[in-house]
A and B are shown apart, each in its own frame.
Chain A
Amino acid sequence: MSEVAESVTTEPMIPVGIPRAKKVSKGFFATSFAIFFRSKLNIFALILFSIIAVLSYGAGWISENILHEDRDQLDFDLVAKGIQLPAPPGTFNHLLGTDELGRDILTRLLYGGQVSLTIGFLVAAISIFIGTLLGLLAGYYGGWVDDVVNMLVQVILNIPALFLLIMLSIYVSPTIVSLSLLIGLLSWPLLTRQVRGAVLSLRTRDYIAAAEVMGASSFRILLVHILPNVVSLMIVVAGFTIAAAILIESALSYLNFGISVPVPSWGSMLSDSQTRFTSAPWMVYTPALAIFLTVLCVYLIADGLRDAFDPRLK
């Protein structure tokens, strides 16, 4: 597994124990990643995503040492010089122009990436954790545990997600963490269903029965014998969740429930510039491109991994 892949897929999932997965079924993962890297498209997506992530998380350093701009710094020099704000790209040291407050778009774009990606990762982590845990429990224990989990899943799936988000948004003041929690708490059910399904079929396997006979605790069986088998599922779902979270965050911004000022996210930058398609396109298309490329890469990676992991397709 390359270093890059580590940062993309495993970082948020430490709680569910990737290292064990590697140890137990190294052969499977090795072949899967080999398949993954056979596709040039997958490699391209992975590299591009890594670049975006590095730029975003290096926003602090880059803006200080290269751009010499501050995230929230209002450039009043522009106003003093009589330049109409928002200033177009190339105005003095603003490579990508400024917004209506004279803040540097490039700097905010980098910081915005940090926020959007963090939300994506956090949401993925939350939903993977809850989703896997409940899926394992429901699938393994069955009975009332299964019923309860199933009901929870059903309740969330049966209220349109945006309805729930809007109702919940009224409570919380939007920060990175609260938004991630909000989105994360609503995006685990599908994973739970899939994990549960996988566990149900695993349960009937002989080796599980053997482990039970040998007196292994339920905890051990779940952790050592079952979890590694759903890791591939988790990785794939994590990818899609990251992408979805970035998009949902932007939708919330559009509906005025997004992250609060002055913190930028790609979604809020996009939403703040919605009246400027023709008058200040640099404000519109830069965050749009950032979201597009990021989500595209994450999708391609997740899609590629899914195919690579799929035993039927080997």
Chain B
Amino acid sequence: MRKRLSLALAMLLVASALAACGETATPVPSTAAITTTASAATTAAASATTASVATTTAASATTASVATTAAGATTAATSATTAAATNPGDTGLEPIPPLATLPAGAKKGGTLNLAVSGTLPATLTGDGSTSDVVGNYLAMYNLLWSAGLVEYDYVNLKWHLEMAKDVKIDDTGKVYTFTLRPDLKWSDGSPITVDDFQYTFDNISKPNKSNPAQQASALGNLVTLDSYKSDSAAGTITVTFKEAFARDVAYYYLTFAPLPKKVWQDKPFFDPSNNPEIKKPTINSGPYKIESYDSNGQGVFVANENWYRGRPNFDKIILKAYSPDLVSNAIKTGQADASLTFMPPSQYNEIKANADLKTYDYYGVQVDFRYIVYNTTKAPFNDIVLRQAIVYALDRNTLIKVAENDRAKAQYTFENQTSPYYNPDVNHYDYSLDNAKKMLAGAGYTLQGSTLMGKDGQPVKFTLSFATVDVPGKLLATYMQAQLKQLGIDVAVNGLDPQTYLISLVTKKFDLGTGTTGGSVFPDPDAVKFFYTKDGVYNVAGYVVPRIDEIFALGTHELDPAKRTKLYQEAEKILNNDVPSAVLYAPVSYIAANKKVGGIVPTKGGTVDLNQNVTEWYFTQ
């Protein structure tokens, strides 16, 4: 799952827009998560920031039974984790069961044809940081690789043991000892041992010298580790953190797929031209193994008999890439049985109406939302009243209809309503042009004719930027332009290519921008700190509040889930009021599948974990 840590971050900001459009390259695919030993040498402060994108909900991690509804989850989680916290040795993690037996009438075997939008990734190694097509790499990741010692279950929202059979945590909360399952095998039948873990860890923690732009590999989190030691005889791995982390945070840091040492050890770890394993692994740990793979053509994966969870449901899986708008055609014509990437909202009604197909909705728990972001470092958006007034002038319901074909749900803070961290007590900025006008008038803005004048007597003018590949963004821009005209504001819109857009945000050469966060690493508020803290690279709003920095710093290390929830709810309240950026809605993404494919259970982790459930799919006839 480390692949998600390093990669999903890269997908923030513009990525989902790109993925939605099938843009093959997320802007930063291979360069994500550069924290290498080099950065380990940087300041401790930096390392603290670096540390924790990736925390899961404390709730889900430690509880076996987490309800997915907001209210239920919060209470259940809180009590359960508190109990766990009092007893450090008891982690409450369950081992992963063998693959579920199929329901009556279902058929084991068969060939599943999957459609991917865009292109197939050039590299398939378990270390996804070298991938060129992150979204699609992630989509097929779980077919080939096992997540590592522990894994987060995006359907039930909880951690479980994956390749480890148990984990012990010492009293300090810093030392984690994992015991490996004895039945782990590579796809060639040879055993997976702690040596493989050690080998992989040792290498991913080194900088990638062959291409510094791609140092991605190194675990961003390794700066938080003191040591990573394996004991071959006992089959254990002992990890020591520099300081205690919330358990979910800690688990998250430890998820990376082991690579087979015996095959890899004499080959350069990062150099795909001298290490064919990177592009096409000969042995792997997941449910399927590679029969043939051509990133320019198709991938053919066959069942891995040696998989530790039993024989997978399909004999064969064939992956083919389609241009994004044509994925639906591929499924309609039967050229593909299901889509492995999300499909355009504009095609939803049509697919839904098709009698042969079934659609599945994916509604991420968090960090998959549409936002507008203000540049608060300069006029006009250094004025909080203007920022708030604009949010009042946007009707989320209409916006969702026109920009997303009604395929989204309104959202008000960085946590959505189904999250245990959601703060129900925030301003929803219910649509009211009158309210917006009143606020502006009260703050010294005046209307001259139909033009809104600022406090300085000059017309209020600004530019709204978006990436042209971001189709809903384009629609939103048009909607905002029409809407703000009613406030007397003449908004210029500026569609940019994704790179230029990103640069204009990061260098703060923008007034107002819009984008999506593009799928969460996993549902934890810690993942959004890069948007809001002082040192966060994605804090493009330039908005700095010491209390916010403090909250996110505390949240990473807070062991008590109840306190953690309180902290993040406070942050939500502050940010909701100050609106350096406004969260508008979270998309309800979807995939389509042929009716003969069963067992599809949408996950709740957004784009990133779409595929997690594929191993459970089967043919119904």
Bound Cα distance from A262 to B483, whole angstroms: 13
A260 and B495 in contact, given A73-B482, A275-B325 (Cβ under 8 angstroms): yes
> Do B482 and A74 touch (CB < 8 A)?
yes
> Do A100 and B402 touch (CB < 8 A)?
yes
Interface string of A62-81 (1 = CB under 8 A from B): 00000000001110100100
Find chain B residues with CB under 8 A from A7 CB. Answer: none
Q: Which of chain B's residues 390-408 have a Cβ closer than 8 Å to chain A?
A: 398, 401-403, 405
> Do B347 and A262 touch (CB < 8 A)?
no
A100 to B, closest residue via Cβ:
B402
> Does A279 touch B at the CB level, under 8 Å?
yes
Q: Which of chain A's residues 64-104 have a Cβ closer than 8 Å to chain B?
A: 72-74, 76, 79, 84-85, 100-102
> Does B346 touch A at the CB level, under 8 Å?
yes
> Does B494 touch A at the CB level, under 8 Å?
yes
Point out which of B402, B474, B494, B495 has the most chain A C-beta atoms below 10 A from its C-beta. Answer: B402
Find chain A residues with CB under 8 A from B497 CB. Answer: 169-170, 256-257
Listed by A's residue number, 18 A-B pairs whose Cβ atoms lie within 8 Å are: A74-B402, A74-B479, A79-B398, A85-B402, A100-B346, A100-B402, A100-B475, A102-B402, A170-B497, A173-B496, A256-B468, A257-B468, A261-B474, A261-B478, A261-B493, A275-B325, A276-B346, A279-B350
Find chain A residues with CB under 8 A from B496 CB. Answer: 173
Q: How far is the CB of B24 from chain A (nearest CB, A)?
A: 13
> Do B349 and A84 touch (CB < 8 A)?
yes
Q: A101 is contacted by which of B344, B479, B495 (Cβ under 8 Å)?
A: B479
Find chain B residues with CB under 8 A from A85 CB. Answer: 401-402
Bound Cα distance from A225 to B316, whole angstroms: 76
> Do A275 and B398 touch (CB < 8 A)?
no
> Does A31 touch B at the CB level, under 8 Å?
no
A79 and B402 in contact, given A73-B482, A279-B347 (Cβ under 8 angstroms): yes
> Does B205 touch A at the CB level, under 8 Å?
no
Bound Cα distance from A281 to B482, whole angstroms: 25
Point out which of A72, A257, A260, A276 has the most chain B C-beta atoms below 10 A from its C-beta. Answer: A260
> Does B575 touch A at the CB level, under 8 Å?
no
> Does B321 touch A at the CB level, under 8 Å?
no
Q: Which of chain B's residues 548-562 have a Cβ closer than 8 Å to chain A?
A: none
Interface string of A139-175 (1 = CB under 8 A from B): 0000000000000000000000000000001100110
> Do A275 and B346 touch (CB < 8 A)?
yes
A259 to B, closest residue via Cβ:
B495
A274 to B, closest residue via Cβ:
B325
Q: How far is the CB of B483 from chain A (nearest CB, A)?
A: 8
A170 and B493 in contact, given A79-B402, A262-B478, A279-B347 (Cβ under 8 angstroms): no
Bound Cα distance from A74 to B394, whole angstroms: 13
Q: Which of chain A's residues 242-270 have a Cβ closer than 8 Å to chain B?
A: 256-257, 260-262
Bound Cα distance from A174 to B401, whole angstroms: 28
> Does B469 touch A at the CB level, under 8 Å?
yes
Bound Cα distance from A72 to B481, whole angstroms: 9
Q: How far is the CB of B401 from chain A (nearest CB, A)?
A: 6
Q: A275 is contacted by which of B347, B468, B479, B495 (Cβ under 8 Å)?
A: B347
> Does B584 touch A at the CB level, under 8 Å?
no
> Does B477 touch A at the CB level, under 8 Å?
yes
> Does B500 touch A at the CB level, under 8 Å?
yes
Find chain A residues with CB under 8 A from B482 CB. Answer: 72-74
> Do A101 and B494 touch (CB < 8 A)?
no
Bound Cα distance from A256 to B498, whole angstroms: 10
Q: How far is the CB of A211 from chain B (nearest CB, A)?
A: 53
B497 to A, closest residue via Cβ:
A170
Q: B469 is contacted by which of A100, A169, A256 (Cβ under 8 Å)?
A: A256
> Does A217 touch B at the CB level, under 8 Å?
no
Q: Which of chain A's residues 96-115 have a Cβ closer than 8 Å to chain B?
A: 100-102
> Does A278 touch B at the CB level, under 8 Å?
yes
Bound Cα distance from A249 to B481, whole angstroms: 24
Q: A260 is contacted by which of B469, B479, B494 (Cβ under 8 Å)?
A: B494
Interface string of B489-528 (1 = CB under 8 A from A): 0000111110010000000000000000000000000000
> Do A262 and B493 touch (CB < 8 A)?
yes
> Do B494 and A173 touch (CB < 8 A)?
yes
Q: Which of chain B's residues 88-103 have a Cβ closer than 8 Å to chain A?
A: none
Q: Which of chain B's residues 338-357 have a Cβ closer than 8 Å to chain A?
A: 344, 346-347, 349-350
Would you list the 5 A-B pairs with minimal beta carbon distance, nearest first? Answer: A256-B468, A279-B350, A275-B346, A260-B495, A275-B325
A280 to B, closest residue via Cβ:
B346
Point out which of B325, B398, B401 has the most chain A C-beta atoms below 10 A from its C-beta. Answer: B401
Find chain A residues with CB under 8 A from B493 CB. Answer: 260-262
Q: How far is the CB of A141 from chain B (nearest CB, A)?
A: 41
Bound Cα distance from A174 to B469, whole angstroms: 14
Q: A170 is contacted by which of B325, B349, B500 (Cβ under 8 Å)?
A: B500
Find chain B residues with CB under 8 A from A73 CB. Answer: 482
Find chain B residues with CB under 8 A from A279 CB. Answer: 346-347, 349-350
> Do A278 and B350 touch (CB < 8 A)?
yes
Point out which of B468, B479, B496 has the most chain A C-beta atoms below 10 A from its C-beta. Answer: B468
B23 to A, closest residue via Cβ:
A256
Find chain B residues with CB under 8 A from A79 CB. Answer: 398, 401-402
Q: How far is the CB of B398 from chain A (nearest CB, A)?
A: 5
Q: How far is the CB of A102 from chain B (nearest CB, A)?
A: 7
Q: How far is the CB of A75 from chain B (nearest CB, A)?
A: 10
Q: How far is the CB of A171 from chain B (nearest CB, A)?
A: 9
Bound Cα distance from A260 to B477, whole angstroms: 11
Q: How far is the CB of A73 from chain B (nearest CB, A)?
A: 7
Interface string of A118-139 (1 = CB under 8 A from B): 0000000000000000000000
Find chain B residues with CB under 8 A from A173 CB. Answer: 494-496
Q: List 17 other contacts, CB 8 Å, given A261-B493, A262-B493.
A: A74-B479, A74-B482, A79-B398, A79-B402, A84-B349, A100-B346, A100-B402, A101-B478, A102-B402, A170-B497, A170-B500, A174-B495, A260-B494, A261-B477, A261-B478, A274-B325, A279-B350
> Do B344 and A275 touch (CB < 8 A)?
yes
A278 to B, closest residue via Cβ:
B350
Bound Cα distance from A262 to B475, whole angstroms: 9
Bound Cα distance from A275 to B348, whole angstroms: 10
